[in-house]
Amino acid sequence: MSLSELIAGVEEHEKTLTVFNAGEDVVAAFRERFADRNVTVRQESTPSGKPGEFVTLSEDGEVLTATSITDLQRMIEDSDVALGLADSPYQPILDHMDETMFTSWSIEQMVAASREIEDRAWRVGNGSLHAGFQYLSTLRGELPVYERLGSKNLDVHAYAAPDEDPPEHEGFTLHIERAEEIEKSWFVVFDGDGVDESKCALLAEERDPREFYGFWTYDSDTVDWIIDHLDSTYGVLEQ
């Protein structure tokens, strides 16, 4: 299985956010907030109108979790809280949003999500971090960040296809690969120093020019699979 096939497998599992006992304006706000996600937003009402306004998140007809509309509205109103990897008090919906496809993310959104994982690795200070930059020219602009990460007790690996001479670097291992999935994939994967609760990954592919489609995950098995795939597929070409 390739990285692209892993993304396609996640894409097949669409989630449904059902909004109960709320007005059209609330539902419209949720639809706008989840517009770049592989999530269908539905509106329903209970016969009695009780227990008030709430939302459920389901997959394949099975309800995964429920929470109050108030908590979800707070998340939307707070521009500093992202549907992503940042720690957030707005649970439990966010706990079940990992491995849900995002669609047509911009460079800015991808960078923001990548920084969340890089920051987690920095705070843990141990373990391995793997990042795919597509091309060496992109890696060049990220050298200060990854040399800084390499100054920690982290085993840092960068992957890129050659479109220019390799940059001088220190503190991390550089994998130079003429491979299609390296050219089209953006990924940042942290093994949590072996602690399942600390593992996380962002994996996406460029399907349209500078627009990325993929997912993030906290699932330890998925993180382990991605790292095993990278280790077994790509040899170390330069230290």
Are residues 167 and 150 both part of a single domain? Answer: yes
Are residues 68 and 26 both part of a single domain? Answer: yes
pTM: 0.82
Are residues 137 and 79 both part of a single domain? Answer: no
239 is a domain residue: no
Instruction: Return the pLDDT at 185.
Output: 97
Instruction: Return the pLDDT at 95.
Output: 61
151 is a domain residue: yes
Are residues 133 and 90 both part of a single domain? Answer: no
Instruction: Return the pLDDT at 238.
Output: 46
- Domain with residue 193: its CATH number is 3.30.870.10
Instruction: Return the pLDDT at 184.
Output: 97
Domain stop point among 49, 64, 96: 96
57 in Cβ contact with 90 (< 8 Å): no
Q: How many domains does the chain have?
A: 2
Are residues 76 and 144 both part of a single domain? Answer: no
Instruction: Return the pLDDT at 239.
Output: 43
Which of 79, 109, 101 lies closest to 211 in space, CA to CA?
109
Domain stop point among 57, 78, 96: 96
Are residues 136 and 221 both part of a single domain? Answer: yes
Are residues 81 and 118 both part of a single domain? Answer: no
Domain stop point among 81, 96, 111: 96
Q: In which domain, by residue range, is 9 found? A: 3-96
- Domain with residue 9: its CATH number is 3.40.30
Instruction: Return the pLDDT at 76.
Output: 62
Length of the chain: 239
- Angle (nearest 5°) at CA 100 between 96 and 105: 130
Instruction: Return the pLDDT at 77.
Output: 65
Are residues 137 and 222 both part of a single domain? Answer: yes
* Tokens at 16, concatenated: 């449904």
Series of mean pLDDT values for 10-residue runs along the chain (239 residues): 93 90 91 87 91 90 87 65 46 64 89 91 96 98 96 96 96 95 97 94 94 91 96 70
Are residues 62 and 140 both part of a single domain? Answer: no
94 in Cβ contact with 81 (< 8 Å): no
What is the strand order of the sheet 173-176 is part of?
A: 102-105, 211-217, 200-208, 185-190, 126-135, 153-161, 173-176
